[in-house]
Amino acid sequence: MKGMVPPDKGSKVSQQRFAVVYVPRRSRNRFSAGAVEVYENETQARNKSDPVNKRFAAIVHGPSKSSEGQLLYYLIEWLDAPV
């Protein structure tokens, strides 16, 4: 994915995960670890989303360490409203 730190093939730290992301607008494609809550499955992420309070369910990839030393998650796909 363009603009994404490539995953380390020797580690399982950075991988796709279901999450809820806190963002003011859904126009961003990378997020600090503090704005991301990871869940075990898609249903949990969808159920914990709260669009009114700017918490959106998504599939993200990460965490990856930026050149500044920050942990980042990269957007793979936004999920629809809770099921």
Over its length of 83 residues, how does the chain's per-residue pLDDT go in tens digits? 555 555 555 555 688 999 999 999 888 899 999 999 999 999 999 999 999 999 999 999 999 988 888 999 999 999 975 44
pLDDT at 38: 97
pLDDT at 66: 86
- Which H, E and C letters describe the chain, residue by residue? CCCCCCCCCCCCCCEEEEEEEECCCCCCCEEEHHHEEEECCHHHHHHHCEHHHCEEEEEEEEEEECCCCCEEEEEEEECCCCC
pTM for the structure as a whole:
0.81
